[in-house]
Amino acid sequence: MFESESILVTGAGGLIGRAVCMRLSEQGHSVLGIDSDPHVEADVEATGAKFARADVGDHLALTNLTAGYQRVVHTAAIVSDWGPMNEFIEVNVRGTRNVLDAAAANDVAQVVHISSVAAWGYDYSRPPTDNHWTARQGVPYVDTKAASDDLALRRGAAVVRPGDVYGPGSKPWSIRPLEALKSGRFILPGSGEGLMAPVYIDDLVDLIVLALFDARSSGVALTGFGGQTVTAAEFFGFYSRMLGKERTPTAPRLLATAAALGLELVSRFTGKPPEVSRTAMVFIDRSAGYETSTAQTLLNWHPKVDLEQGMAETEVWFRKTGLLPPGKQS
């Protein structure tokens, strides 16, 4: 059991931020969750944390809010396969710098920066290890996550690189694919043989909390995913079966890419992100997975929720929230 401490969590209205706030509050810590979106205040406070509206682009506000807090978990980021590069840079890179500066100015004992396995890009054939530096790929999310990852490591933060975070509340890997499958606009490239690196949200929070309270993780990168890659066809097949479908639609890569391009063109007129973009297809078309040895050996982190159990929990949540009709589980 940890002694009660004062902890600040950025991006507290997001999936990971809320989950971290709840876990830390349950452990008896005094938690302040900050977010730029005032509409998430009730959700953050429901976790047991206090709420403050602040933007990670506001260096002065961050510095003032961080005063008196012993530890910081930085989850705030634009997590998307769509959007202009300058917006990603402002939030993902400059925002991270501001958080690190605020923590340094207030002598914060430990900062955990939430990065992503996407920081390695997707052009690799062998599993990258924790000590491999990041890569650039010309994709706003990938490149800015890579830059903020490098910055955080050089500044001595613990860096957690999650795999594909799914579970109740996950927009990119649970809600969005389910909605796209409902609308008939979800297509896997090829035969869906690309690899996924799923990690259930509760398992990821376990790793973040371990890194937050262990000084040995300072300046160290820790990869967090379930340890077992699965094909995209297998992963998204769970959602298809929830909808009563036997399999997830697939198409030759050229055709799938053309369909995604069409959705992108439509989005330019509607102003709404496409349900499936060409970049999103890159994210589900890996040829290799990742190693998690540092998290296991340094912090004794071992995921507890396998994919079948995690998907069952996700389906319960879908039906509870109305994203799926009530009824018998798949």
Tokens standing for residue 135:
């890569």
pLDDT on residue 1:
47
3 state DSSP class of 248: coil
Contact, 195 vs 229, CB < 8 A?
yes
d(CA 40, CA 214): 30
| C-alpha distance across the termini of the chain, in Å | 38
Beta strands in 240-311 (DSSP E): 250-251
How confident is the model at residue 84, as a pLDDT? 83
Domain ranges of the chain: 6-166+199-226+289-304
Report pLDDT for 132: 65
Residue with tokens 């896997």: 188
Which tokens belong to 290? Answer: 């990742």
Q: Is 299 exposed, middle or buried (0-12, 13-18, 19+ CB in 10 A)?
A: buried
- pLDDT computed for residue 226 by the predictor: 81
Amino acid at residue number 227: G
Counting as low any pLDDT under 50, the low residues of the chain are: 1
Question: What CATH homologous superfamily does 6-166+199-226+289-304 map to?
Answer: NAD(P)-binding Rossmann-like Domain (3.40.50.720)
pTM for the whole structure: 0.92
Confidence at residue 2, expressed as pLDDT on a 0 to 100 scale? 56
Q: Tell me the residue type at 219.
A: G
pLDDT value at residue 137: 65
Q: How many CB atoms sit inside 10 A of residue 20's CB?
A: 29
Residue 139 gets the label, from left (phi > 0), alpha (psi -120 to 50) or beta, of beta
